[in-house]
Amino acid sequence: MNTTINNILEISRWTSIAIGIFLAMLWGNDPVQQFSIITAFAVIFIAGLTGIESIFFSESASEQSGYKGGREYQRQSGANNIALAITAILVYLLGWGYYAQLTIMSVLIIFLALSGTNHAYSAIKESNHTIKNMSRPIITIVFLVMLLFFMLNSIYYPLT
């Protein structure tokens, strides 16, 4: 049963970013607005769902990734991801603005790059050829390019 939940969470993470990108293009009137929309979707859904998975479904998530043990670390890592998602929610609810959004998205992008690298390492060096380890680096690169596109466009857009 937990494997099904893990699969749903995995698909939901990446689907949410795709929806966020679509809505950013649809609703964003300029690069800063587009970045604001994509940041909310990316940080809340990637960090939040990863945190939930790490805390409540870590054993099956570890098994799907071909990892052994480490439940305590998974809980700690999950708490970190949930903290990032809660921070993103606070940034929006309290109106902390563009630079706070830029900060939380930077943390998420660095985390995604390191996580994708970890999955690639596990697939290549440790011969861990699970579907998750084989696909995560590729999916991560695609979304990192998209997230960086929105981020860089917003940085070079003149703030008024």
pLDDT greater than 70 at residue 72? no
pLDDT greater than 90 at residue 160? no
Q: For residue 82, is it within any domain?
A: yes
Q: For residue 7, is it within any domain?
A: yes
Q: For residue 53, is it within any domain?
A: yes
Structural domain including 59 reads: 2-155
What pLDDT does residue 63 have? Answer: 81
Quote the mean pLDDT of the chain: 90
- Total number of domains in the chain: 1
pLDDT, tens digit, for every residue of 79-91? 899 999 999 999 9
Q: Which residue has the tokens 């937990």?
A: 2
Cα separation of the two ends of the chain: 51
pTM over 0.85, yes/no: no
Q: For residue 16, is it within any domain?
A: yes
Please enumerate, as own/partner, the contacts of 96-99 that have beta carbons within 8 Å and a separation of 24 or more: 98/32, 98/35, 98/36, 98/154, 98/159
Q: For residue 103, is it within any domain?
A: yes
pLDDT greater than 80 at residue 73? no
Q: What angle separates helix 58-65 from helix 71-93, to the nearest 10 degrees?
A: 110
Model confidence band, residue 106 (pLDDT cutoffs 50, 70, 90):
very high
Q: For residue 72, is it within any domain?
A: yes
pLDDT, tens digit, for every residue of 35-67? 999 999 999 999 999 899 888 888 888 888 887
Q: For residue 160, is it within any domain?
A: no
